[in-house]
Amino acid sequence: MTLRILAAAILGVLGCVVALDEPTAKVNMKPSSVGSKPHAVRVDGRIITSFHKGSRVTRDVGKLKWLGGLVISSSDPAFGGYSGLEIDPGGKRFLAVSDAGTWLSGELVYDRGRLVKIRAAQIGALKARGNKDLRRRWDRDAESIRLFRGNMATGTALIAFELNQRVGFFPIKNGVLGGPTRYLRPGRRLSANKGLEAVARLGRLPGKLDVIAFAERSLDGNGHHRGWLWRGARGAPQPIALTNLDGFDITDAVGLPDGRLLILERRFRWSEGVKTRIREIAKSQIRPKAILNGRTLIRADLRYEVDNMEGLAVHTDKRGRTILTLISDNNFNSFLQRTLLLQFELPKS
């Protein structure tokens, strides 16, 4: 292990302690979103050329092709904690949600197909019904976001919350998120810091209630990760599960246009630091009471440009490529952790 990798491992371990082992400290570091108004913000970006630390050679990892990435930062005190990410079908506009109860929007800028910067960024606060402030920290812990219908200018987003466990339908108007119109809730109450972490829309039909969600680290009686399906007009939650492989936690999920499901996972241990993994689930597996497994697309540790990876989005670029974008949660600790945007191509099977 080189000194550079060793230093990265130490910083990664120390930084992730706040996220994974000290939930109370993590909450106390978050800024309040009460009274915040949408406002423009400057987001700086440093280009990541190689996914392998200490190497200038671009190599692929697992079944994915590395495309590039950014380390993003801002002096705005509300910037950080991004746990969920959504990108419009063309790959230009994005929305990220923070576990402090804020959102970040903006445009992704590319040069010859590689991400180089963010422009036209805004930050705003997530709202309660009636566009009221979310005054309790318990209500603000947003962990995942998905477009349900429309686009980033005018549409509806699904947002999953971990502590006060619910999936809200949030209108988007002129790129700004309004207060929710209704909620979906899981079929059981989950303990704090083990609640809803991932939400995905299944299938191609926009606006159809075909939604799946998973808890971060809540296991059923067989040791599998708990999940729920909402389908049909009634939308009653139906149980589904994901196999627990090697003690990874679920951090996000996204549906592909052909019905497959991608699940982002994270593992932290003092002895090894943080790891990230993406699993691909076949469409044929996804049904009520199923136990999902799937194949691993990528598994990476601190030898690579990873941090506390929590958000995953998918879009199709102008060349018809399926692009995966990951975002990391820096826990509002910019000294020890980074906010990363990483992009990979998912080759055709």
Q: Dump pLDDT digits (tens) for 58-111.
A: 677 899 999 999 999 999 999 999 999 999 988 999 999 999 999 999 999 999
Instruction: Check residue 239 and give left, alpha or beta (phi > 0: left; psi -120 to 50: alpha).
Output: beta
| Full residue range of the structural domain in which residue 162 is found | 3-346
pLDDT of residue 8: 45
Which residues on neighbouring strands pair with residue 46, listed in sequence order? 71
Confidence of residue 18 (pLDDT cuts 50, 70, 90): very low
β-pairing verdict for 82-87 and 65-73: unpaired
d(CA 48, CA 100): 27
β-pairing verdict for 295-300 and 273-281: antiparallel
pLDDT of residue 134: 95
290 pLDDT above the threshold of 60:
yes
Portion of the chain with pLDDT greater than 90, in percent: 77
Average pLDDT value for residue range 272-288: 96
pLDDT of residue 213: 97
Q: Which residue has the higher pLDDT, 24 or 280?
A: 280
Distance of CA 200 to the CA centre of its chain: 10
d(CA 304, CA 290): 33
Nearest C-alpha neighbor of 36 from the set 105, 118, 132, 160: 132
Q: Look at the chain and report how many structural domains it folds into.
A: 1
What Cα–Cα distance (Å) separates residue 11 from each residue in 4, 28, 32? 11, 20, 26
pLDDT of residue 175: 86
d(CA 171, CA 83): 19
pLDDT of residue 28: 53
CA atoms within a 13 Å half-sphere pointing along the CA-CB vector of 108: 29
Exposed/middle/buried for 259, CB within 10 Å: 0-12, 13-18, 19+?
Answer: middle
Q: Dump pLDDT digits (tens) for 303-341.
A: 999 999 999 999 999 899 999 999 999 999 988 999 999
Q: Dump pLDDT digits (tens) for 27-64.
A: 457 899 888 899 999 999 999 999 999 887 767 789 99
Lowest mean pLDDT among 188-192, 207-211, 246-250, 281-285: 188-192
Task: List the end-to-end C-alpha distance of the chain, in Å, as a whole number.
Answer: 34
CA atoms within a 13 Å half-sphere pointing along the CA-CB vector of 42: 2
Regarding pTM above 0.85, the answer is yes
Cβ contact 119:112 at 8 Å: no
d(CA 20, CA 162): 14
234 pLDDT above the threshold of 70:
no
Q: Dump pLDDT digits (tens) for 186-230.
A: 977 787 667 899 999 997 666 678 999 999 999 999 999 999 999
Cβ contact 202:225 at 8 Å: no
pLDDT of residue 192: 67
d(CA 275, CA 214): 19
pLDDT of residue 57: 73
What Cα–Cα distance (Å) separates residue 96 from each residue in 18, 99, 157, 216? 21, 10, 11, 18
Q: Which residue has the higher pLDDT, 13 or 221?
A: 221
The two structure tokens encoding residue 273: 């630091």
Distance of CA 65 to the CA centre of its chain: 20
Q: Dump pLDDT digits (tens) for 154-197.
A: 999 999 999 999 999 999 998 899 999 999 999 777 876 678 99
**CATH code for the domain of 46:** 2.115.10
